[in-house]
Amino acid sequence: MELVFRRTYRGSLKCAILDWAGTTLDYGVYAPAVVFLDVFRRQGVEITMPEARAPMGVHKKDHLRRIAETPTVAARWRQLKGREVQEQDIEAMYADFVPLQLACLGRYARLIPGTLEALADFRARRMLTGTTTGYTRAMVEVVLQEAQRQGYRPDCTVAADEVPAGRPQPYACWQNAIQLQVWPAEACVKIGDTAPDVGEGLNAGMWTVALALTGNEVGLNEQEVAALAPEERRRRTRAAAEKLAAAGAHYVVDGIWELPPVLDDINRRLAGGEKP
């Protein structure tokens, strides 16, 4: 008989690694979405908000590529310019994107309700707080300054241009773990609002929690959500939750304010020897 011995972590969570827009601030993820519209408009190509939002969560240059590869956008581009999108077009649009994004980030950096309470809950559990994002370091510095002004101070920030590849690759999650000196991977939970967030956490070997209502999938700010009829709000949230669950999220909740029971359940599963 062949025996296999496996080490099992049975401690509690040590770290929460959070996304920025749609998770802790910028309810509805407006800051990048409106800039993508503007960047393509400067090329003479109109894109819709759903087309702008579809690749949300990845590095912003990759995001531009994926918008350009969308069949409807590619067709409009060919009709206007008589050729396919080229890499030099992506570089030109990214050159436009960066200053436009830096200029508007502060306007959309209001904390999502429940963020400070979640941070206090993490600290009460003796959990560290890390962050990952599709933003570059220069962009992260803007949102970090605004977040700190409102009382949100994560223990670690890792930008998309500080790792070999962005989401859904796991490198930014691992870099957080390295900087915070937290291990094993199953002692970490990745929290975000997009499928690439979920993929990043899963690929890093971490628990994943997806936020359906406050993020990119519903794509409405707090006031717009409040104005929805109850049934329409349920419909939109349900559709977002189904998409995020299909991406592999271990848990899907409406917003950051619903995290404490989820963390309790993950700790229960860890104590029983479960892994993500």
Domain at 59, CATH number: 1.10.150.240
Q: Tell me the average pLDDT across 77-91.
A: 93
Percent of the chain whose pLDDT exceeds 90: 94
Whether 117 and 237 share a structural domain: yes
The predicted structure's pLDDT at residue 93: 94
Q: Determine which of 55-59, 110-114, 169-173, 219-223 has the lowest per-residue pLDDT on average.
A: 55-59
Total domains in the fold of the chain: 2
Catalytic residue among 60, 61, 62, 193: 60
Domain that holds residue 63: 31-107
This prediction has a pTM of 0.91
* Residue 19 annotated in active site: yes
* Banded pLDDT at 1 (limits 50, 70, 90): low
Task: Give every CB contact of residue 157 below 8 A, 6+ residues apart in sequence.
Answer: 130, 131, 133, 140, 144
Render pLDDT for 13-56 as a digit per residue (tens, 0 to 9).
999 999 999 999 999 999 999 999 999 999 999 999 999 999 98
Same domain for 117 and 51: no
Q: What phi and psi, each to the nearest 5 degrees, are found at residue 190?
A: -100, 130
- Label residue 186 by pLDDT band (50, 70, 90): very high
**C-alpha pair distances (Å), 59 with each of 133, 159, 166, 209:** 8, 9, 6, 20
Q: What is the CATH number of the domain that holds 172?
A: 3.40.50.1000
**How far apart (Å, rounded) are the C-alpha atoms in residues 167 and 179?**
18
Pair 102, 142 in one domain: no
Q: Is 190 a catalytic residue?
A: no
Domain assignment present for residue 231? The answer is: yes
Contacts of 151 (CB under 8 A, 6+ apart): 111, 116
Same domain, 93 and 131: no
Catalytic residue, candidates 19, 89, 193, 197:
19
Segment among 53-57, 106-110, 182-186, 265-269 with least mean pLDDT: 53-57
Q: Is the pLDDT of residue 261 over 70?
A: yes
Q: Give the residue from 107, 131, 148 where a domain finishes.
A: 107
Average pLDDT over residues 185-197: 97
Residue 7 lies in a domain: no
Residue 1 located in a structural domain: no
Among the candidates 107, 133, 152, a domain finishes at: 107
Instruction: Report how far residue 189's alpha carbon sits from residue 222's, in angstroms, rounded to the nearest whole number.
Output: 25
Same structural domain for residues 231 and 170? yes
